[in-house]
C-alpha cells in the first residue's frame, strides 16, 4: 500500500540582524560667546538583511521536495514575514550558538519555522532544533543544506557517507534519501503530527 503524501507547512522568517555599536562623538556647543566641544555617547546601528525572498524560497522548496518526495513528504511554504532581531553576540554571521539564542523566539506553532539570515557560519550552512521545530540557513547555503536541516526536524541523524544527505557537511546537489532514512522520516513525530502513517517497513 502506498503512503499518502504528508504536507508539512513552513513559515519563513526573513531576518534582518541589527548590530548596535556604542560610539563617542564630539559636537560643538555654544556657551556664551564661546564654542566648546562636547562629547556624547551614541548608538550606531547596522542592519544585515537576508537577500532571500518568497519567490526564491519557492524554487528552493521545489528542489528540497524532489529529495523528500521519495518519502512522500512535501514541505510547503505557507507564509513569509520580514523581521528585525538583535544579532546574537553582535555578529554579522549567525553560528550555532547564535541560532540557539534566536530559536526560542521562533518556536513552531502550527507550522515549522524557517529562519533566513544573510550568512550562516558553519560547515553545514545551517542548524536546527527538532523539539522546537525550527531551523535556519544562510543566503549562500545550497538547497541540500535546507533539505539537511529539514531532515533533522524529521528526526534524521548525521551519517558518515559523503553521498548521504545527512552527512555532517555539505552534500552534493540532489543527494537522495536512503531507504532507512525514508522509513525513519515517515515514522517521525513531525510526519505523524501532520497526519501521516508510518510506511510498511517501519511497522
- Reported confidence tier of residue 197, pLDDT bands at 50, 70, 90: low
- Reported confidence tier of residue 201, pLDDT bands at 50, 70, 90: very low
- Reported confidence tier of residue 202, pLDDT bands at 50, 70, 90: very low
33 Cβ neighbours under 8 A, 6+ residues apart: none
Q: What is the pLDDT of residues 61-88, one digit of tens each?
A: 999 999 999 999 999 999 999 999 999 9
Q: What is the pLDDT of residue 196?
A: 60
Percent of the chain with pLDDT over 90: 65
21 Cβ neighbours under 8 A, 6+ residues apart: 43, 44, 45, 46, 90
CB of 123 closer than 8 Å to CB of 169: yes
Q: What is the mean pLDDT of the chain?
A: 88
Query: Looking at residue 63, what DSSP letter applies?
Result: H
| Mean pLDDT value of segment 173-178 | 85
pTM of this prediction? 0.85
pLDDT at 198 over 60: no
Amino acid at each position: 500500500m502506498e503512503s499518502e503524501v504528508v504536507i508539512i507547512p513552513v513559515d519563513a522568517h526573513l531576518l534582518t540582524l541589527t548590530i548596535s555599536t556604542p560610539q563617542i562623538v564630539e559636537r560643538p556647543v555654544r556657551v556664551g560667546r564661546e564654542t566648546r566641544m562636547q562629547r556624547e555617547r551614541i548608538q550606531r546601528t547596522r542592519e544585515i538583511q537576508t537577500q532571500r525572498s518568497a519567490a526564491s524560497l519557492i524554487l528552493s522548496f521545489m528542489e528540497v521536495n524532489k529529495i523528500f518526495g521519495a518519502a512522500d513528504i512535501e514541505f510547503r511554504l505557507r507564509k513569509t514575514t520580514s523581521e528585525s532581531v538583535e544579532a546574537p553576540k553582535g555578529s554579522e554571521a549567525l553560528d550555532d550558538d547564535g541560532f540557539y539564542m534566536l530559536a526560542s523566539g521562533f518556536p513552531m506553532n502550527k507550522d515549522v519555522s524557517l529562519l533566513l539570515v544573510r550568512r550562516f557560519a558553519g560547515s553545514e550552512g545551517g542548524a536546527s532544533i527538532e523539539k522546537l521545530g525550527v531551523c535556519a540557513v544562510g543566503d549562500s547555503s545550497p538547497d541540500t543544506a535546507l533539505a539537511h536541516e529539514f531532515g533533522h526536524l524529521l528526526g534524521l541523524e548525521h551519517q558518515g557517507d559523503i553521498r548521504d544527505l545527512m552527512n555532517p557537511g555539505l552534500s552534493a546537489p540532489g543527494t537522495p534519501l536512503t531507504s532507512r532514512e525514508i522509513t525513519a522520516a515517515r515514522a517521525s513525530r513531525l510526519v505523524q503530527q501532520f497526519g501521516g502513517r508510518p510506511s510498511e517497513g517501519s511497522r
